[in-house]
A = this chain, B = another copy of it.
């Protein structure tokens, strides 16, 4: 099927067309930027909610209950489950994601897992683009769930409007929370499994820590939940909505303009990187590659040489070089 046809079906609400466009994004295909350019203006309506926290905190169960909540409100829901933790196996280790299959047959819920593709910061960009596709498709609430608490997870959470950090009493002290950078990204803290020992103490510690921060336009709440029996979900959903409203009120056109510039620079970087990869065995770069293999030039001199030759780099980046494979 050609791209125009696919995009047409996508705009008509065809779930298979959505799935195929997501695959284009996942595989970083040549059509990627063109797809995103064409659907860009359709996105921007969804509420994007990030769910993160250490493994075992109950994020999937919490997501599951939030999906049910939004569905009861009549909203269509998108879910992107991201697992950056397994760079070598390539597959997403999303065991308890199975639980979400309670929504599997629901036409109003679209669930997709993403795992590491490539090493060049591509996962955060791919996640952003899958979210935008879901948004353009018409999903009204989009949950982005990450496993773990590394740099990639923090990068991914930047794209959420509202970031929910889920902890459990046994997750240990609040120092860990600070070290992992969670304090800076949390719009809402959830202490899940709140029936366990130490839940209230963790809540108090978090609140004490939050009070130390300078005046902020949003006061970060610390909520207690028991996701397995849906306790506290209504309050969490209400806080998520309140944060979204607060955010919309605060947002200025200047901020939005700045975000577009930053995204454009990120895209340029990624696109240059992708095009360089595609051109790596093109005739354009054959000579320098050969000299590198033969140790006639070092990698630094070779990089400077290519960059100073405007003709080569311009052709490589315009995608006009011979097709290398």
What's the Cα separation between A289 and B36 when bound, in Å? 19
Chain B residue with minimal CB distance to A175?
A: B93
A34: chain B residues at CB < 8 Å are: 300, 304
Contact at B155–A119, with CB atoms within 8 Å? yes
A74 interface residue (CB < 8 Å to B): no
List the number of copies, as a whole number.
Answer: 2
CB-CB contacts of A264-284 with B at 8 A, as 1s and 0s?
110111011101110010000
A242 interface residue (CB < 8 Å to B): no
Chain B residue with minimal CB distance to A271?
A: B303
Contact at A299–B263, with CB atoms within 8 Å? yes
Out of B40, B299, B300, which one reaches A298, CB within 8 Å? B40
Provided the pairs A298-B40, A303-B264, A310-B314 are in contact, do residues A151 and B154 lie with their beta carbons within 8 angstroms?
A: no
* Chain A residues at the B interface, C-beta cutoff of 8 Å: 33-34, 36-37, 40-41, 84-89, 93, 116, 119-121, 148, 150-152, 154-155, 179-181, 184, 253-254, 256-258, 260-261, 263-265, 267-269, 271-273, 275-277, 280, 288-289, 292-295, 298-304, 306-308, 310-311, 313-315, 317-319
Known pairs A269-B272, A307-B318 / 14 extra A-B pairs, C-beta < 8 Å: A34-B300, A36-B300, A41-B298, A85-B180, A88-B154, A89-B181, A151-B151, A260-B293, A260-B295, A268-B276, A269-B273, A271-B304, A271-B307, A308-B318
